[in-house]
A and B are shown apart, each in its own frame.
Chain A
């Protein structure tokens, strides 16, 4: 029990940092400052500047705003699906179980990036953003999460477990919501949700990077906004071409670590009793 608190604390701090960044993000970036000779954090605190002399914290904050809510919502969606998968197995609803399995096989066989790209191309300009793509990713990830949760529910004993609790006089709500989901499926639900949250952030970085490097309009955010992919692109130039943006690489990787750390912390914190 005591071992969970450090994990909870770390993930809470990291998640709060992400939310704070998202909240303070400016709507538009500052004016370019082409006279800047030094770009590091010493010249432009706290994180340095980009190749146009704009403070990197603005790009980091805008990127956080792009990913924060959609990734969390996607995680919650997958968590709900996982809970549903576990409950279906606990309730021994075979027809539902078979339907989920069949749906999972077909969905699981789709090349995800292609589906995401086509959804991204489908979106009208007014709807462009990470939300629809995150929702699609969550739907594509749901079968796997449901499968894993169902396997955990089966290891509990399935219907026999439910029967035993019923014999204790517990209500259905208490049996399924509290004992099955909250006490026993919690680790897998939380882990799956946290992983999908992380995957959506990385998906956004991938799509934005591909758009940035081709000078294409973004798939995931309005074009007045920058994402973490722009910071990582600067970092790549530093790594490959000795451009003076190594601080951008550090910041970009730090932001990736922030998300990963949150995911790991939350997963560790949600261990079964």
Chain B
């Protein structure tokens, strides 16, 4: 039940570092926690890649293959062997999805495509955020925005894929696919509309605060007053939107046949190619960790800046 004493505002003020610290610790833990969790989940899958390739009932050599792939001694042995190899830059070869191809080659060729897709998809979101923060999008446009955001990514991606194949030959249109995929990601599932409405709700709540009015009376702009206070919330929202883009990228890359990390992950997971699933999931986790760190730094930086007294103010108060 609630404590009877009132919370100490000074203590709350002093605890500003807790949340950024939690985020930083989570960011450092993610690149290890995610592959570990996935290893445990993959281990629970029925069968294993070695017995799929060489079912013990029909084929000898399953155990030797399992040993070669470190599958013979449980998930922790597999995970620790994989981590120590990965730390040394050795990701091995794909077992089934692209049998024999070095995983590092597959990952290296996929990262730029996914980053390009996410980066292009982020443009409308960033634009929406900025325009909403500047209060430049009228509320009358909200129904249209909501309508745009209602379409699930898979439907838009399928329509885009059909257009792409009919417009280009079987072996062309990669750039078109990238732009189409980015458009799909940036609009579908409420990405753009959510960026606008989410930013607007945060900024309009701050605009209604008394200090904003006071600042305006002093001749300052609204934005310069509210920006420090809304920055952590906006950074958090943007981080969540980018994560949503990463998640949606899996479907978009598969449907539009973009050679990105999401497609790699999907194809590998379907055939239980652990050798590919883990590194790709770890890359995703690293991207998430970077975003988390960025948010933690933004939060911490703003908190420090807010608490930095302007020169002269304290002296006058004294």
Residues of B within 8 A of A257 (CB): 150
- A99-127 CB mask vs B (1 if < 8 Å, else 0) is 00110011011111111011101101000
Contact, CB under 8 Å: A159 / B6? yes
Residues of A within 8 A of B254 (CB): 210
Interface status of B146 (Cβ within 8 A of chain A): yes
Given A209-B158, A232-B158, A236-B162, A105–B269 Cβ distance below 8 Å? no
Contact, CB under 8 Å: B22 / A121? no
Contact, CB under 8 Å: A240 / B281? no
Residues of A within 8 A of B158 (CB): 209, 232-233, 236
Contact, CB under 8 Å: A114 / B243? no
- B146-171 CB mask vs A (1 if < 8 Å, else 0) is 10001111110011001101100000
Report how far A12 CA is from B1 CA in the complex, Å: 37
Residues of B within 8 A of A253 (CB): 155
Give the bracket for the number of chain B residues in contact with chain A.
35 or more
Interface status of B251 (Cβ within 8 A of chain A): yes
Interface status of B189 (Cβ within 8 A of chain A): yes
Report A223 CB to chain B, min CB distance, Å.
Answer: 17
Given A111-B250, A118-B38, A206-B154, A144–B162 Cβ distance below 8 Å? no
Given A109-B34, A109-B292, A239–B159 Cβ distance below 8 Å? yes
Residues of A within 8 A of B22 (CB): 98, 101-102, 105
Interface residue from B33, B146, B162, B243 paired with A106 (Cβ < 8 Å) = B33
Report B112 CB to chain A, min CB distance, Å.
Answer: 18
Residues of A within 8 A of B144 (CB): none
Give the bracket for the number of chain A residues in contact with chain B.
35 or more
Contact, CB under 8 Å: B6 / A109? no
Interface status of A51 (Cβ within 8 A of chain B): no
Interface status of B121 (Cβ within 8 A of chain A): no
Interface status of B246 (Cβ within 8 A of chain A): yes
Report A180 CB to chain B, min CB distance, Å.
Answer: 10
Contact, CB under 8 Å: B247 / A109? no
Interface residue from A90, A108, A114, A202 paired with B265 (Cβ < 8 Å) = A114
Given A117-B269, A236-B162, A158–B7 Cβ distance below 8 Å? yes
Report B230 CB to chain A, min CB distance, Å.
Answer: 13
Report A170 CB to chain B, min CB distance, Å.
Answer: 12
Contact, CB under 8 Å: B150 / A108? no
Q: Which parts of A190-224 form the interface with B (CB within 8 Å)?
A: 199, 202, 205-206, 209-210
Interface status of A160 (Cβ within 8 A of chain B): yes
Residue of A nearest to B269 (CB): A117
Contact, CB under 8 Å: A256 / B155? yes
Contact, CB under 8 Å: A105 / B2? no
Contact, CB under 8 Å: B250 / A205? no
Residues of B within 8 A of A251 (CB): none
Residues of A within 8 A of B235 (CB): none
Interface status of B45 (Cβ within 8 A of chain A): yes
Residue of B nearest to A209 (CB): B154
Contact, CB under 8 Å: B289 / A109? yes
Contact, CB under 8 Å: B6 / A205? no
Given A117-B269, A159-B2, A232-B155, A105–B26 Cβ distance below 8 Å? yes
Residues of A within 8 A of B266 (CB): 113-114, 117
Residues of A within 8 A of B297 (CB): none
Contact, CB under 8 Å: A101 / B19? yes
- B residues whose Cβ falls under 8 Å from a Cβ of A: 1-4, 6-7, 18-19, 22-23, 25-27, 29-30, 33-34, 37-38, 41-42, 44-46, 146, 150-155, 158-159, 162-163, 165-166, 189, 240, 243, 246-248, 250-251, 254-255, 262, 265-266, 269-270, 272, 281, 284-285, 288-289, 292
Task: Jot down 10 A-B pairs with beta carbons below 8 A, ordered by A.
Answer: A91-B2, A102-B25, A105-B292, A106-B30, A110-B34, A114-B265, A117-B270, A118-B45, A122-B44, A256-B155
